[in-house]
Amino acid sequence: MSFDYQIIEETQIVKKQNLCYKPGKNTKYEEKTKTTYRLEYQLNQETLNQASLLDGIFPIVHNVTNLNDKHVLETYKKQSVLTKRHSTLKGTNKVAPVYLKKTICIETM
């Protein structure tokens, strides 16, 4: 993680009168404890510096020995195009019907 955090529990005693009349000399109060939580965090600069060293690095593991690194990277980048074409070839193609009146139009298609 690139930040340090701490959950702080705070308790507060709240006094509330038992009846809903105006308070006087003989008014009895009930004490209740109210618990709230607070989150404090701080960025961890050392972890951020270590993570920034790895920014932009993308490892490619392969077993091709006859290509250099540049060709392996180019082949990997073309892989998405190949999988898209393969799914288009294997998937169902939606074709709209074409209504033609003359046979010459059919022959030209």
Provide the H-helix boundaries in the chain: 45-53, 69-90, 103-108
107 belongs to a structural domain: no
Q: In this structure, are 63 and 11 located in the same domain?
A: no
Q: 36 pairs with which residues across the strands?
A: 10
pTM for this entry: 0.39
For 45-61, write each residue's pLDDT tens digit.
998 888 888 888 777 77
Cα 100 to Cα 1, 47, 53, 95, 108, distances in angstroms: 65, 68, 63, 15, 11
For 61-98, write each residue's pLDDT tens digit.
788 888 888 888 888 888 888 788 777 777 776 777 77
Q: In this structure, are 6 and 46 located in the same domain?
A: yes
- Host domain of residue 20: 1-57
Q: 10 pairs with which residues across the strands?
A: 36
Q: In this structure, are 11 and 40 located in the same domain?
A: yes
101 belongs to a structural domain: no
Question: 31, 41 in Cβ contact below 8 A?
Answer: no
**Gap between the Cα atoms of 67 and 62, Å rounded:** 10
47 belongs to a structural domain: yes
